[in-house]
């Protein structure tokens, strides 16, 4: 059994026991969070109807707060002396899926 869940504008395919990084949430390590299921696949049965999906819940346990890779942004215009450097490092919450019910 697996599910497609939505988190932070992205969709993730998860099964029980999977570990994934989602956009940072304001939760403590060890807390349990609920993820919104968009589709649930159980063998040959595929559930996408919103009314039937209300019966399903995907729970996950918060494992850690992590950071993604450093992204370097450079803007440059030739012959004008314009150079701008900027960096970004996305923050993530690492969660482990504990159940799809």
Q: What is the pLDDT of residue 47?
A: 94
pLDDT tens digits for 13-65?
Answer: 999 999 999 999 999 999 999 999 999 999 999 999 999 999 999 999 999 99
What pTM was computed for the model? 0.85
Asked if 29 and 63 touch (Cβ cutoff 8 Å), the reply is yes
Exposure string over 12-22, b if 16+ CB within 10 A, otherwise e: bebeeeeebbb
């Amino acid at each position: 059994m697996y599910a497609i869940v939505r988190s932070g504008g992205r969709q993730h395919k998860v099964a029980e026991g999977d570990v994934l990084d989602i956009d940072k949430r304001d939760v403590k390590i060890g807390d349990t969070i609920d993820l919104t299921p968009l589709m649930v696949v159980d063998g040959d049965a595929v559930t996408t109807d919103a009314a039937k999906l209300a019966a399903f819940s995907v729970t996950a346990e918060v494992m850690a707060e992590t950071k993604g890779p450093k992204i370097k942004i450079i803007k440059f215009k030739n012959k004008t002396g314009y150079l701008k450097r900027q960096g970004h490092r996305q923050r993530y919450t690492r969660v482990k899926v504990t159940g799809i019910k």
